[in-house]
Amino acid sequence: MNQRMAVVIGVVVLALGAGACGGTTPATTDPIASGTTPASRPSAMDTLAERPTVSVAKPPTARDIPISDLPDEMRLEPGRIGINEDEGKCVDTAVYEWLNGPDASTDEAIRVAALGSAVTACVDQPRVAKLITNQVRVTTPSLTVAQADCIEAEIANSDPEALAVFLGAFTYGGSGVPELQLPFITSFTAACELG
């Protein structure tokens, strides 16, 4: 299996989520405390995605939102990207409030951005970058340190709106998502020399 295929499989496993595969997120030390900060540079992700403007705010109080109150495609299992339970409650609450607010939409591209925006509102961007990179490392053992650092930097240094679309593309459960994922996979492949 070539390096690019291994990384694509790693990203697909990330997109499916550990919960969907019956696995669990490996227990590790605090991922933020254990790594270095990625070099600050523009992210190739910033030029890729159409970025619908979606206003999703961090809720003042995260609540337990009943599973039946969120559409299937907008439920984010915390283990999917490695966020903790409190962060997961925050994401669910932010999505719930957006769905019940004046900006709610049934347009899938906007829903993708809304789900991703809920994650970026509730989880610090460096933490998101570290968590996703750690999962890609686990699913793609052939990934070099330089490639992993590059992936982390691409995520950590991306524009928040581009990051929201990226996160939405890999966590939203609706149709039409593979088309949203492909530019990001291509971006990582080129920027991080994965091919």
Q: What is the pLDDT of residues 164-174, one digit of tens each?
A: 888 888 888 76
pLDDT at 50: 64
CA separation for the pair 117, 111 (Å, rounded):
10
User: CA-to-CA distance for 180 and 49, rounded, in angstroms?
Assistant: 8
pLDDT of residue 159: 87
CB 170, CB 18: distance < 8 Å: no
Tokens representing 25?
A: 């997120």
pLDDT at res. 41: 58
Q: Are 159 and 43 in contact (CB under 8 A)?
A: yes
pLDDT of residue 178: 74
Task: Say what the pTM is.
Answer: 0.75
**Amino acid 51: pLDDT:** 64
- With 0-12 CB in 10 A as exposed, 13-18 as middle and 19+ as buried, what is 141? exposed
Q: Determine the Cα–Cα distance for residues 125 and 127; give it in Å rounded to an integer.
A: 5
Burial 9-27 (b: 16+ CB within 10 A, else e): ebbebbbebbeeeeeebee
* Unique residue bearing structure tokens 């490996």: 26
The ranges of the chain with pLDDT < 70 are 1-42, 46-52, 78, 174-176
- Position of tokens 């206003």? 55
The DSSP code for 35 is S
Is 48:154 a contact under the CB 8 Å cutoff? Answer: no
144 vs 136: CA distance, rounded Å: 11
What is the rounded average pLDDT for all residues in the chain? 77
